[in-house]
Structure 1
Amino acid sequence: MFASPRSLSRRRPVAAGATALLALVLTACGSSSHSGHAGMPGMDHAAMASPGAASSAMPRMPGMPGMAAGEGLAAELDGYRLDSPVVGLPSGQAVSYPFTITGPDGQPITDFAVAQTKKLHFYAIRSDLTGYQHLHPTMADDGTWTTDLAALDPGNWRLYAAFTPNTGPHKGGEFVLSRSVTVSGEAAAAPLPAAADSTTVDGYTVAVHGEPMAGMAHKVTATISKDGRPVTDLQPYLDSYAHLSAFHEGDQALAHLHPLNVVDGDHGGPTLTFHAVLGKSGNWRVFLQFQTAGKLHTAVLTMHVA
């Protein structure tokens, strides 16, 4: 179970340097093989929250294996940029969203490395952390990507692209970029549910255990059961037994993780182990996706990080 804020507050505080250095580790996503040019999550991105803002002011620590590609709070990073002609979308209907990823030379990139079976992962979340979508767009020969979004509720949304260039000065570095869009209509924000250590979806119960603290490496486990019995027939999804996306309340910083469990056919579960460092304290909305019998399930809960 998650520790209470009072019990966590008695622990030894993390040095500011360690927090910035560790930030958000995506060990299970295979980023340990990356070159280390990616952005430093866990830093204060307030000055670069605008979708068009560059990240030149964000510190770099090259050569750090396993570092994440930033928290997805900027449209530009190290010369790589997420561009789209779309700034607004209609509500209540499915819509296509076109975009490009341009490189340091200003030209659209067409060569991307495959990560978790896909060349690009795309996420959408509303500012109140509702409406989660995890998609895999298609790319035309000229480098234009198109993703098909399900109907969106009115309000402000952030759209993220996670990718790894297969050419250029930061070949092999993982990046997460984003832009914000406004969906037309009158928005009604939903309050964030309280932190919990279990949730249910499609008849499955997902129990999450751990005491995450900002800036500290920590093990978090998710145990899946159904009708009181352990689930042991999880199928591989994106080359793993689960995919976890987490968004920080307030600024929508993104973390995406995969469990450390070795994939062995359709025999995953019941317990999945994640090794993660979340660089910011506060509440995170967690979306855990797993697959059984060919169906994808998405379990949702709020996790508190001290």
Structure 2
Amino acid sequence: MAGMAGMAGVPATAGASATSPGDGLAAEQDGYRLDSPTVSLPAGRAVRYPFTITGPDGRPVTAFAAVQTERLHFYAIRSDLTGYQHLHPAMAADGSWTADLAPLDPGSWRLYASFTPETGPRKGREFVLSRTVAVPGTATTVPLPAAAGSTTVDGYTVTVQGDARAGTAFPLTATVGKDGRPVTDLQPYLASYAHLSAFHENDQALAHLHPITPVDGDHGGPTLTFYALLGRPGNWRVHLQFRTDGHLHTAALTLHVT
């Protein structure tokens, strides 16, 4: 849960623009729009979600800057903040995209696209846009886990420390351990040692950030430092992704912001 940028004025990594990409809750911002003909997806099986990003001229955007090695980051999460997915879809020559989603449980889902145009009037600016889809069936709401300072995944323990206050930039540190020992063999993932995304409990606002810790081969850890600026108080469900021995791990916990 260390550091969440990409939301409400959150700075990105060191040296990046401080311009806010927004909270990810709108389908359109400054002339850029996330479009899709799909408003419903079936439950219980892998599905494909087609979409396009159109620019201020109304035509599909085809030139995107690579951010953390990818031209577009795609997220999916259900309204109760379960079912998190982080994907990197492929774009066709005409500017159409297809996200291959793992099976979805019934309920309301929000799908986000994070991108930076490489040309046009907003060249170099990050955007986060989203749309919702309905997944038919009987939805069982999962209560949000209580706020906690640590969590475990695949035998790893992730501990987070920081004074999380809304509207104020603050540092967060994430420490990774295993079997009571510090982990020092984190491998680069998306040109960093971790990827973090967080979703606000009440409205699914999205925030994301990468650690400012420099990358030095497969020698990351045990502690990663992030900086965050979260515009809303309340609970955030945080997903910290990191790689070891070629395997991607996703640690999830709840952060309370005052």
TM range (shorter): over 0.9
1:26 to 3, 8, 11: 11
Name which one, 1 or 2, has greater alpha-carbon Rg: 1
For the Cα contact (< 8 Å) 2:8–2:22, is it kept in 1? no
Mapped partners of 1:169, 1:27: distance in 2: 21
**Residue in 1 that maps onto 2:63:** 111
Tell me, yes or no, if structure 1 residue 257 matches structure 2 residue 257. Answer: no
Do 2:194 and 2:243's aligned partners in 1 also have CA atoms closer than 8 Å? yes
**Paired residue type of 1:77:** Q
Unaligned runs of 5+ in 1: 1-21, 35-65
* Residue 188 of structure 2: aligned partner: 236
Verify: 1:124 aligned to 2:124, yes or no. no
- Say whether residues 1:86 and 2:71 are aligned partners: no
**How far 1:26 moved relative to its partner?**
3.2
User: What residue in structure 2 maps to residue 302 of structure 1?
Assistant: 254
Residue segments in structure 2 that go unaligned for 5+ positions in a row:
1-6
The residue identity in structure 2 corresponding to 1:130 is T
Instruction: Please give the alpha-carbon distance, in whole angstroms, between the structure 2 residues aligned to 1:107 and 1:175.
Output: 17
| Paired positions, count | 252
Q: Deviations over 1:161-194 (max 9, x none)?
A: 0000011100000000000000111111100000
Identify the match of residue 221 of structure 1 among 173, 182, 189: 173
TM-score (norm 1): 0.81
Q: Using the TM superposition, give the Cα deviation of residue 27 of structure 1 relative to its aligned residue in structure 2, in angstroms.
A: 2.9
Find the aligned partners of 1:203 and 1:115 in 2 and give their Cα distance.
30
1:211, distance to aligned residue in structure 2 (A): 1.3
RMSD between aligned residues? 1.0
Answering whether residue 163 of structure 2 is matched by residue 178 of structure 1, we say: no
Letter of the 1:243 partner, please give it. H
1:119-158 aligned within 5 A: 119-158=71-110
CA distance in 1, matches of 2:101, 2:247: 19
- The 8 Å contact of residues 24 and 255 in structure 1, kept in 2 or not, is answered as no
Aligned to 2:3: none
Q: Alpha-carbon deviations, 1:103-130, whole Å to 9, x = none? A: 0000000010000000000000000000
Alpha-carbon distance between aligned partners in 2 of 1:289 and 1:158, rounded to the nearest angstrom: 20
Kindly provide the CA deviation profile for residues 30-87 of structure 1, in whole angstroms up to 9, marking residues without a partner as x.
6x444xxxxxxxxxxxxxxxxxxxxxxxxxxxxxxx1330110000000000000000
Distance 1:262 1:26 in 2: 17
TM-fit CA distance, 1:250: 1.0
Residue type at the aligned position of 1:247: F
Give 1:211's aligned amino acid: D
In structure 2, how many angstroms separate the alpha carbons of the residues matched to 1:105 and 1:27?
27
Q: Does 1:204 align with 2:156?
A: yes
> What letter corresponds to residue 105 of structure 2 in structure 1?
D
How many Å separate the matches in 1 of 2:197 and 2:16? 21
Contact 2:147–2:254, Cα closer than 8 Å, also in 1: yes
> 1:256/1:196 Cα in 2 relative to 1: closer, same or farther (>3 Å)?
same
- Alignment check: 8 A CA contact 1:26 1:256 kept: no
Structure 1 CA distance for aligned equivalents of residues 118 and 59 of structure 2: 14
What is the aligned partner in structure 2 of residue 72 from structure 1?
Answer: 24
Structure with greater strand share of residues: 2
Specify the alignment match of 2:223 in structure 1.
271
Cα shift at 1:23: 3.6
Percentage of identical aligned residues: 71
CA distance in 1, matches of 2:192, 2:86: 15
Which aligned segments of 4 or more residues in structure 1 are displaced greater than 4 angstroms? none
Tell me the amino acid that sits aligned with residue 112 of structure 2. Y
| Cα distance in 2 for residues equivalent to 1:261 and 1:190 | 34
2:147 paired with 1:195: yes
For normalisation by structure 2, the TM-score amounts to 0.96
Structure-1 separation of matches of 2:27 and 2:118: 19
Amino acid at match of 1:163: F
**In 2, Cα distance between equivalents of 1:232 and 1:33:** 27
Aligned partners of 2:166, 2:126: CA distance in 1, in Å? 22
